[in-house]
Structure 1
Amino acid sequence: MTAPPLKIRPAAQELVAALHRQLRSRWEALDAAGQPAPAAPPPYQAAALPGDLANRRVELIVEASDLAALNTALNSDADALVLDFDDTFAPTSKNVQAAYDALETAARSDKPLLARPRALYAVEEHLAPETLHDGGPAIAALCDLGVILAARPERPIHIYVPKLETVQEAQLWDDALALAEQHLGLERNAVKVCVQIETYAACLHADALLFALHGRAFGLNAGRWDYVFSLTKRVGLQRGAMPPRHDLTMELDAMRAYAEALVRVCQARGAQAIGGSAAVAPDAQNPQVTLDAVRADKTREAAQGFVAAWAGLPELLDAVREAFGGSTPHRLPAESAERTHERLLALPAPRPLPLNVVQDTIGLALAVFEAWYDGRGVVVRDGRIEDTATAELARAQLWQWLNCGADLEGGDKLTADRYLTERRALAGDHTAQARLLDSLVLAPICPEYFPRAAQLLQKSPLQPQEATL
């Protein structure tokens, strides 16, 4: 059965159509691979922090279509809420409609609100063609942005800008926001943003990206697993096997270099550094172990120069908040761009992979993909909150391990045949999650983002024999 088209309030529909009409050609011309490295920006300062975010220490991220979680969050003691249309969101027609409807509930709240629209790669397939008047595909980021801002134009919801790689993309976001402000009768830069540094290119060029949005951007946010996913795609074939996820702790110097690169830009430009998400689920019978680990992780971030972070569950709010209540951190010493780049790439040397790590990585991707097809953007697995970001990392690691011929403990190598054997032990060839994972892992070039790959796969599905080599 074909899903009914999305219903959007007239004010939001007009804004969405206007954004597409004025920005579609630029969106179609985006080319991250063809963009040169940006020049160093001139002296500048980031935008002033919005007043309602001045004293926050913890933001509670809520999957945008989960009305029950939203109501719980609105009644929690979170300092601010992040309504997420990106990593924790499965964009089924039902979910997109529920999320757009839920914005009306959120907009009536006095709780400080931020929203993360979908990234620029995403296409919204459930909007009625006549909504846009130009016959082209609906750009999910512009759809989300229009509905978010039209929900409360008199007091705009702050925006997290996701998955930037180039200044070209940052400028498109800035112009989209300026056009929305003009359409809604707002002053220029009335909508404030925090830029997510969650790609390898964004880490290298965070200063230039912040400058491109500095009239409205008050901070930078760290997205650890999205960043490692991007790093794996971009540099994975230049080396042997990338380290498994459990080896990529924030104590690793390469990961500290990532966090410190972000903080240095913030300290130089008067911006806030916002830490990553505490994405663990405490055991109801013994929550203290998990809470202590969260507190320790966020205390480390606070010492590095971060001033706040996300919590993935209400139970984690106090642990995150307490970690950022201490003394002001010292400024980080200066470091050359060349030295930072060297540190970012100084990952642990390749070593044979335990088979159970490969199996667990396959299992993680399959579990998230299965849930995603079922309309759930998040699963709790072994005490961790897994979502699109961690599934992207898992499938990219599998692709990288296979393409570099990673050694397995015991003397074997990870080949396509061995991957298929292990995947088939967990999911049959005809399941949607297996078809998607195979298409990603067995691709000659690592696909950019799995939600778009899944949409394209549904239009031209693999035949059963294509899952074998």
Structure 2
Amino acid sequence: MAGDAARILNPIELTGPRLAGQEDLLTPAALGFLIDLHRAFEAKRQARLAARRQRQARFDAGELPDFRADTRAIREGDWTVAPLPEALLDRRVEITGPVDPKMVINALNSGASCYMADFEDSTCPTWENLLTGQRALRKAVAGSLDWMAPDGSKHYVLDPASKTVLIVRPRGWHLDEKHVLVDGQRLSGSLFDLGLFAFHNAAALQAKGRGPYFYLPKLQAMEEAALWDEVLAFIETRLGLPEGAMKVTVLIETLPAVFEMHEILHALRGRIAGLNCGRWDYIFSYLKTFRRHRDRVLPERSQVGMTQPFLKAYSELLIQTCHRRGAHAMGGMAAQIPIAGDPIANEEALARVRADKQREAGAGHDGTWVAHPALIPVAREVFDQAMPGPHQQAVRREDVAADRDALIRPSIGTITRKGFDNNVEVCVRYLAAWLEGQGCVPIHWLMEDAATAEIGRAQLWTWLHHGHLHLDDGTPVDFSLFDRSLMSLPSKLADRMKLPGGSKINEAIALLDQLTHAEELAEFLTLPAYERL
């Protein structure tokens, strides 16, 4: 009773370490706004998460994903989304990355069409990272952001002439913010990230004709999109914004969502600007959705590219769907980073990026993602050649006939020892860096985020738990193979203290071992890892 009385008097509790200047962000008015968001939407969020679990249980029992019979009228109806604002008409090259001040400055100064400031897969959600990111974005919107290298060697300043459009990605519906309790419950990470950013920046961005704009991750159903629409309408009303001012792009990065793309667009039709092929998380979702289906095990990650039939069908159906409804169809990520000291290898990597972007532009995408500023000229050149106008919505792709079977057809391929060991190594290295507070990590000249680790550990789990699989050299894929690979890492990474997360390598090994041996595939790697932060 005493605890209930205390919560009535003080309904919000901040459990994170007190950081210098946090009162400027977490003002009484801002905290009151977060309380109202929680009370209005937490029960609905939990209902949607319960619906996810129920549907996954049906998949585990043998059901296959399919287009919904109850929403056929939406798919077959003649409707379009609201007109796109001028700032979002041309999105041919978008750069993505975490929300630390240096990244924010470099991204907004990069010359990209848009910058997706990511609170999700490329930001480790420590309390310090989240508040530092919110502060950096607030200063960026105000035009006052700068950053000095710790050794004083370089001063980074936001270019006032930058035309790069800011788009913010909050965390997904499944993630909590453990450092903020409302009425004794954890606040949604989604509502914390988006709500706090909107509270401080929405009016300023609206005055500039720049939104605010958001990317919405990890949606699995139209009802989850409809919940976001409710949240955004609530925020618009509370902050005095015009109806539909807050525009969103939805990442199609879960297998269930590909069967509801029309429905997701319809649920958000007053504010949606497009859909994005979040291909790495999409592969992870395929693995997770079919975790109990022995006939849908995928080969090693390097063999699961966008030319594989199920991924080609997914991307082309997304283009067809978006263009029919007047929305952008955004392409996927190029994660390569410059290979210092090896110009031949670097040019080979750039050639792979160029080929991937040519595939996207030729298929009809309206823009694409890169992880590093050095890739912007490559991607821009490709899209400038293929897309003289601001987008390709006139490309309707009536030739695409992606039925249910095409969208779930497994890839053909093999598992090599190198591919198996690479999954183990990348998972451990990324996890170690994440546990040390880094969400975006360079590994083997790729800028990796949580999606890469999710694919790797989900593949390991499915290969090992289905049994009777072999490497291409005939070696059984079993827990002895996994244990040997895992135990070899400390010596393989002998210089690990020089690596991101070097101090957490042993903890990461233990966590991957635990998750891989578990009888159930964990829903998200970041859920148990978050409790260790």
Taking structure 2 as the reference length, what is the TM-score of the superposition? Answer: 0.80
2:117–2:167 CA contact under 8 A, matched in 1: yes
Residue 26 of structure 2 is aligned to residue 9 of structure 1: yes
- Change in 2 beyond 3 A, CA 1:295/1:335: closer
Post-superposition CA distance 1:272-328 (Å, at most 9, x none): 001112110122342433323222211110111111111111111111111111345
Gaps of 5+ in 2: 1-14, 56-66, 144-162, 492-503
Work out which of the residue numbers 165, 169, 182 in structure 1 matches 2:220.
165
Please state how far the C-alpha of 1:185 moved relative to its aligned partner: 0.8
Deviation of 1:427 (Å): 4.7
For residues 407-443 of structure 1, give each alpha carbon's deviation from its aligned partner in whole angstroms, at most 9, with x where no partner exists: 1244332223331222122159992212221232222
- 2:457 alignment partner AA: R
User: What is the match of residue 442 of structure 1?
Assistant: 517
Alignment partner, residue 160 of structure 2 = none
SS in 1 for 2:292: helix
Cα distance in 1 for partners of 2:340, 2:36 equals 48
Deviations 1:135-191 (A, max 9, x none): 211110000011121232222320001010012211111111111111101122110
Q: Which residue of 2 aligns with 1:235?
A: 290
C-alpha separation between the residues in 1 aligned to 2:386 and 2:368?
Answer: 16
Q: Does the CA-based 8 Å contact 1:158-1:192 persist in structure 2?
A: yes
Question: Is the CA contact 2:284–2:458 (under 8 Å) kept in the aligned structure 1?
Answer: yes
2:129 to 95, 108, 113: 95
CA distance in 2, matches of 1:333, 1:175: 33
Matches within 5 A, 1:166-315: 166-240=221-295, 241-285=297-341, 286=343, 287-315=346-374
Larger radius of gyration: 2
Paired letter, 1:455: Y
Letter in 2 for 1:250: M
Determine the structure 2 residue equivalent to 1:464. none
Shift of 1:235: 1.7
TM-score by length of 1: 0.90
C-alpha deviation, 1:50, in angstroms: 2.0
- 2:52 aligned counterpart, secondary structure: coil
Q: Which moved more, 1:308-317 or 1:238-247?
A: 238-247
- Distance in 1 separating the partners of 2:259 and 2:37: 29
Contact residue 303 and residue 413 of structure 2 kept, 8 A: no
**Equivalent residue letter for 2:31:** Q
Over aligned residue pairs, what C-alpha RMSD do you find? 2.2
Q: What is the rounded CA distance, in whole Å, between the counterparts of 1:13 and 1:51 in structure 2?
A: 33
Report the Cα distance in structure 2 between the residues aligned to 1:410 and 1:288, rounded to whole angstroms.
Answer: 32
Deviation at 1:5, TM superposition (A): 4.7
What residue in structure 1 maps to residue 83 of structure 2?
A: 48
Letter of the 2:284 counterpart: F
Instruction: Please name the residue that 2:479 is paired with.
Output: 416
> How many residues matched?
449
Structure 2 residue 47 is matched with structure 1 residue 29: yes
Q: Compared with structure 1, are the counterparts of its residues 315 and 12 closer, same or farther at alpha carbon in structure 2 (3 Å cutoff)?
A: farther
Q: Offset of 1:14 from its aligned partner? A: 2.7
- Supply the AA of the counterpart residue of 2:167: L
Deviation at 1:62, TM superposition (A): 2.5
Unaligned stretches of 5+ residues in structure 1 = 460-469
Q: In structure 2, the residue corresponding to 1:219 is in which secondary structure? A: strand
Match of 1:407 in 2: 470
For 1:384 and 1:417, the matched residues in 2 are separated by 29
Seq. identity, %? 33
